[in-house]
């Protein structure tokens, strides 16, 4: 009985030894192209809050040619992207490159520069509401601004500023 168990054990080890042969195959070359790199570099993802950065990356990596709406006959396409914090309306050309975007986000984390300028200029005021607006155009660049509603007791004021904290 011991010989049978020992021989089955050795036989099992031999089958595993033969199954470990590794085949090597050459893979085809993979080319990665960032088609919407201008949009990503213009939006400045390193300074954006996490939900905004994730949605902007999704807009930049959207593959128009694989979508259901793609048809060779049209020159441009408009696609909407939504998250609870905001939305992006993006226009693509027929090659899948971003032509322009209109972005609106509400009640997001403000950049340090904006927050510190507000505290400096309006020391006893509280930020009640903030809206972050971005307009991108591939030819005209990018325009960003914050619309803030400040409150101090029963007083309310609205303030506009750029991402560096400069009041508009």
Render pLDDT for 9-27 as a digit per residue (tens, 0 to 9): 776 766 665 555 666 777 6
Render pLDDT for 58-79 as a digit per residue (tens, 0 to 9): 888 888 877 777 777 788 888 8
What tokens were used for 159? 């303030």
- Select, from the ranges 6-10, 63-67, 100-104, 111-115, the one with the highest average predicted confidence (pLDDT): 100-104
């Amino acid at each position: 009985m011991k010989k049978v168990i020992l021989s089955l054990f050795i036989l099992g080890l031999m089958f595993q030894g033969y199954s470990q042969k590794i085949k090597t195959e050459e893979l085809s070359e993979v080319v990665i192209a960032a088609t919407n790199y201008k949009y990503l570099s213009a939006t400045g993802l390193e300074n954006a809050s996490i939900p905004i950065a994730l949605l902007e990356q999704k807009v930049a990596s959207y593959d128009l040619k694989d979508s259901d709406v793609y048809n060779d006959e049209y020159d441009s396409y408009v696609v909407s992207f939504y998250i609870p914090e905001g939305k992006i309306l993006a226009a693509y050309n027929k090659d899948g490159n971003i032509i322009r975007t209109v972005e609106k986000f509400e009640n997001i984390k403000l950049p340090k520069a904006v927050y510190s300028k507000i505290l400096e200029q309006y020391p006893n005021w509280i930020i009640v509401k903030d809206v972050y607006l971005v307009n991108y155009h591939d030819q005209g660049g990018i325009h960003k601004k914050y619309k803030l509603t400040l409150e101090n007791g029963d007083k309310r004021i609205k303030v506009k500023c750029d991402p560096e904290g400069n009041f508009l």
